[in-house]
Structure 1
Amino acid sequence: MTDPTSTPTRFGLDAVARPGGGFAMLAVDQREAMRAMFAEHQEAPVTDERLRDFKVAATRILTPHASAVLVDKQFAFDAVVDAQAVAPSCGLIAAADHFVAGNGEFVTAVEIDRGVDPAAVREQGAVAMKLLVIHRPDEPAAARVAMVEEFVERCRVAGLVSIIEPVAKAPRGGGEWDWDGCVVEAARELGSLGADLYKAEVPRKGEGAEDDIRRACAQITEAVSSPWVVLSSGVPAELFPRAVELACREGASGFLAGRAVWASVIGSDDVERDLHEVSVPRLQHLAGIVDGLVRR
């Protein structure tokens, strides 16, 4: 007989959700991409400390208004935990992906980060882990599927919520390709492999005709067996609230986003002031959209 005490208590989606059942989640797990954002506003090299301090401040100021926060182990997870920066009402998500740079991209490939131990981050307070997955139309599905299945099992054994984030990228071989088609194909390929939550790019990058965006969102809903949310990368910040609304009207359950909330305060002469005065209202507005459209 299996010792019942050997199996950790399993966290459910309530640990990263709003009281009404939707998701209004904050991402501060950007790595070299965030360094590049800071570099646009200063001549001196952007230090790891600069990134860490921003992530801790954003977590402390914004998480009272978020249902969960996603933090990377590379720069900030330990610092966020040590600073007790996560609001008690907010779930903590550990990024469990190792980004491989190359070919002019900050992320050209992704591996499971073996240095992120599920049991250890759970002990530090995490209720979930997230894995980015690169979907290229000219690369075989088998490796992506196997990585997602392994990640989901690692989360399951540790009692953590599993979140996958497929991102469409151009074929390595070049040539014409259909980005929107790839976003939907990724959902069909990876959306029923057991992950508890699916994080999708916004069709049409939030631009274009409402009917086109809604049609593609409906296709994602049909393809994914779990609840799903949208991310904000690639979507103009002023269009992201509309994107969240359209996605939720077609079956999405909220968002897990960073840039649309805090990117504009990078380079400010008073970052903490602007996180309070600019980013908090944006996050509250987005959360209000989710609360108004998503019910259990």
Structure 2
Amino acid sequence: MTKLTTAEMRGYQQICGSDGAMMVIACDQRGGMRSLLAKEPADQAAISDKVLGDTKADIARFLASKASCVLVDPICAVPALVDDRVLQRDTALLIGLDASGWDTSSEGYRLSKLVPGISARRVRQLGATGGKIMVYLRSDREEANAHNIELMRTCIEDFAREDLLLVVEFLTYKFDDEDEAEYKAKIPSLIVGGSRICLDCNAKVLKIPYPGSSEACAEVTRLAGDVPWAVLSAGVDHATFLSQVEDAMRNGASGVIAGRSLWKDCISLDRSVTKDRLENVAVPRLREIQAVIATHFKGAGLQSAQAGKRANG
């Protein structure tokens, strides 16, 4: 199993809290964030990158300052978060490489995209602790994944050359002609299968959707070995996500990379409203997630990786 290098381990430690668990605030969305700030497509299109950057700065001030790390995009958020000293000195920074949306092949497969010009070297130049790539995977249909696996491998190799931490994320999706109930029944196997694909591509830290059951969480942990994995929120309501976090942590997850479930109903074009709701709604939610992590985290992924480094060193 691929192990973190010394430099990658240092980056991983920085995106974790003092307990060794990941607690990353995700706000790398662009299109999704615009749709939360305005209902009509024309109004969404009118929201500038500067407005999104200000919203992300507020999320960083109120949430990331109380967590261990913030995940942002390279278009709206940086370098301002660093240059304007929004981030506290002990808050780690991950930069997402993936572009908004996806292309679609003639067969109906989602083709992931990257933000042009954002390499591992550029991520380092922007002052980040590491990067994050997201690809779409359907592990039950091999031919659907060729483009996205190649994209993932290229990014993993690029970050390995720079000896820089890379978090690998994948999402599943329903085909247009697929029955909704049948798709939902497949989700645990799709999450386990997608995790296996990422691990086979030498991913060293995983960000994955909730695997759907305790058994699937435990299977991901078994497959991952020393590779730590964090559960993402996928925009579900807070109560649902809290239950998912508890199940994931109880069955071997190493933390959380959470976004919309924390702040989706807190952001507004009126920044005074955003700040009030982040402080009074989102921060208590964050504290509840941190309490669940504290109850269940055993530090297995990080401690095993550290032990492996010592044994090899």
- Band the TM-score falls in, shorter-chain normalisation: 0.7 to 0.9
Alpha-carbon distance in structure 1 between the residues aligned to 2:273 and 2:237: 23
Classify 1:124/1:74 alpha carbon distance in 2 versus 1 (closer, same or farther; 3 Å): closer
1:164 match: secondary structure: strand
Aligned-pair CA distance for 1:171: 2.8
Alpha-carbon distance in structure 2 between the residues aligned to 1:242 and 1:88: 32
Query: Is 1:171 aligned with 2:175?
Result: yes
Count of residues in correspondence between the two structures = 279
Q: TM-score, length-normalised on structure 2?
A: 0.81
**Segment drifting more, 144-153 vs 18-27:** 144-153
Aligned-pair CA distance for 1:181: 2.2
Q: How does 1:176-187 map to 2 (within 5 A)?
A: 176-177=182-183, 178-187=186-195
Alpha-carbon distance in structure 2 between the residues aligned to 1:87 and 1:293: 27
Query: Is 1:223 aligned with 2:223?
Result: yes
What is the match of residue 111 of structure 2? 109
Query: Is 1:289 aligned with 2:292?
Result: yes
Contact in 2 for aligned 1:192/1:223 (Cα 8 Å): no
Alpha-carbon distance in structure 2 between the residues aligned to 1:25 and 1:284: 13
Alpha-carbon distance in structure 1 between the residues aligned to 2:168 and 2:187: 19
Alpha-carbon distance in structure 2 between the residues aligned to 1:259 and 1:224: 26
Deviations 1:112-151 (A, max 9, x none): 4341132232133211100001013445244333322221
2:75 match: secondary structure: coil
What is the match of residue 122 of structure 2? 120
2:118 match: secondary structure: coil
Aligned-pair CA distance for 1:41: 8.8
Contact in 2 for aligned 1:237/1:259 (Cα 8 Å): no
Which is richer in strand? 1
Deviations 1:4-31 (A, max 9, x none): xxxx955441021111111111000011
What is the match of residue 159 of structure 1? 163
Alpha-carbon distance in structure 2 between the residues aligned to 1:90 and 1:61: 12
What is the match of residue 197 of structure 1? 205
1:73 match: secondary structure: coil
Classify 1:89/1:289 alpha carbon distance in 2 versus 1 (closer, same or farther; 3 Å): farther
Classify 1:90/1:24 alpha carbon distance in 2 versus 1 (closer, same or farther; 3 Å): same
Aligned-pair CA distance for 1:224: 2.2
Tell me which amino acid in the other structure corresponds to 1:179: I
Alpha-carbon distance in structure 2 between the residues aligned to 1:203 and 1:102: 25
Contact in 2 for aligned 1:26/1:66 (Cα 8 Å): yes
Aligned-pair CA distance for 1:87: 1.9
What is the match of residue 4 of structure 1? none
Aligned-pair CA distance for 1:95: 0.4
Alpha-carbon distance in structure 2 between the residues aligned to 1:102 and 1:174: 19
Alpha-carbon distance in structure 2 between the residues aligned to 1:245 and 1:88: 30
Identity %: 28
**Segment drifting more, 254-263 vs 55-64:** 55-64
What is the match of residue 278 of structure 2? 275
Q: TM-score, length-normalised on structure 1?
A: 0.85
Aligned-pair CA distance for 1:173: 5.6
Alpha-carbon distance in structure 1 between the residues aligned to 2:132 and 2:21: 18
1:285 match: secondary structure: helix
**Alignment gaps of 5+ in structure 2:** 1-5, 300-313
Deviations 1:204-256 (A, max 9, x none): 3xxxxxxxx21111121122241001000142222111211110110101100
**Segment drifting more, 228-237 vs 175-184:** 175-184
2:113 match: secondary structure: strand
Alpha-carbon distance in structure 2 between the residues aligned to 1:12 and 1:266: 29
